Amino acid sequence: MMYPHPIIAKEGWPYLALVGALTLLVHFLGGIVWSWPLWIIFIFVLQFFRDPLRIPALGRDLVLSPADGRIVVVEKANDPYAGREALKISVFMNVFNVHSNRSAVNGMVKEIQYFPGKFVNADLDKASTENERNAVVIDANGQMVTLVQVAGLIARRILCYTHVGDRLKAGERYGFIRFGSRVDIYLPLTAEPLVSVGDKVFATNTALARMPGLD
Give catalytic residue positions: 181
d(CA 16, CA 161): 22
List the strands of the sheet with 192-193, edge to edge.
62-64, 207-210, 192-193
d(CA 87, CA 67): 17
Cβ proximity of 179 and 154 under 8 Å = yes
Neighbours of 85 (CB within 10 A): 12
H helices present in the chain, as ranges: 13-30, 32-48, 127-130
d(CA 169, CA 112): 17
